[in-house]
Amino acid sequence: MSVAKKQYKRITVKSLSEMKANGEKISMLTAYDYTMAKIVDSGGVDVILVGDSASNVMAGHETTLPITLDQMIYHASSVVRAAERSLVVVDLPFGSYQSDPKEALRSAIRIMKESGGHSVKLEGGREVKESIKRILHAGIPVMGHLGLTPQSIYKFGTYTVRAKEEAEAEKLIEDALLLEKWGCFALVLEKVPAALAEKVASQLSIPVIGIGAGAGVDGQVLVSHDMFGMTHEFNPRFLRRYLNLYEEMGDAVSSYVKDVKAKDFPNENEQY
Ligand code: KIV
């Protein structure tokens, strides 16, 4: 029997919790700028993540580590101006919350005040307990992120699937339960076995949103540039491309160059 979906004018952390309770899957995509955020918001996505993947996608860095708090605030404020319905979650970048809970709170407050974002996301479990608690005490909603946590790439050494071994899987489940206990409103699970992700989602009452974590979770997130096919060198098994914009945009550029060279652009109707 199909369940009638509730219409939401504006998605809040409460809406996400209702969606999980009603068995409605949550859709989340990244955006880092106004134009992309307009497209994904008007397409009906529930959550826009201003991910620190902007470090890779927008700036061309190899990892997410170099992006700064000021840069994240710039990206997030552009996204917030476009988002009419979606909940905007902003990543706390590497170095802005790990060393000291007070600094973590200062970073989260800057994001909320200067970008207008609706919540923050940060990576890790018990290691960042005090930072999470302090941010939550200030009334700022926190989304957790476990499994493959790209800010720790130099600890892992590779971007392969995490928590395949029992000990790591158990630690992940414990951390997920702690994040829920401390008051996080949702959790991203990145690149972990589908069976483990499903187990976590069934044990938690907060929504679990997966990327490379199978279908048994409460929602899915993808990097929009990957899902639109604007990137073409990144080909993980979990990625479904809905368009092939890398090729289409490249062809459009070639046509434009050809038209300019041939003095075919602009024509009489395209000038004053
Ligand atoms: O930064 C990001 O885009 C993310 C997603 C991969 C979940 O954290």
Cα 252 off chain centre by: 29
Domain positions in the chain are 13-227
Q: Is 149 in the pocket of ligand 1 (CB under 6 A)?
A: no
Q: Is the pLDDT of residue 2 over 90?
A: no
- Is it true that domain 13-227 has CATH number 1.10.8.60? no
What pLDDT does 1 receive? 37
At 4, the pLDDT band (50, 70, 90 cuts) reads low
What pLDDT is stored for residue 3 in this prediction?
Answer: 52
**Ligand 1 atom at shortest distance from the alpha carbon of 123:** 8
Q: What does DSSP assign to residue 228?
A: T
8 A C-beta contact, residue 227 and residue 241: yes
d(CA 143, CA 126): 14
219/24 Cα distance (integer angstroms): 8
- Check pocket membership of 206 for ligand 1, CB cut-off 6 A: no
Structure tokens at 223: 């990097």
The single-letter code of the amino acid at 165 is: E
Q: Which amino acid is located at 148 in the chain? A: L
**pTM of the entire predicted model:** 0.97
Residues for the chain: how many in total? 272
53 lines ligand 1 (CB under 6 A): yes
On whether the CB atoms of residues 217 and 190 are closer than 8 A, the answer is no
pLDDT digits (tens, 9 = 90+) for 222-267: 999 999 999 998 999 999 999 999 999 999 999 999 999 999 999 9
Structure confidence by residue, pLDDT tens digits, 10-31 = 999 999 999 999 999 999 999 9
Residue spans of alpha helices (H) in 116-268: 129-137, 153-156, 166-182, 194-203, 224-227, 245-261
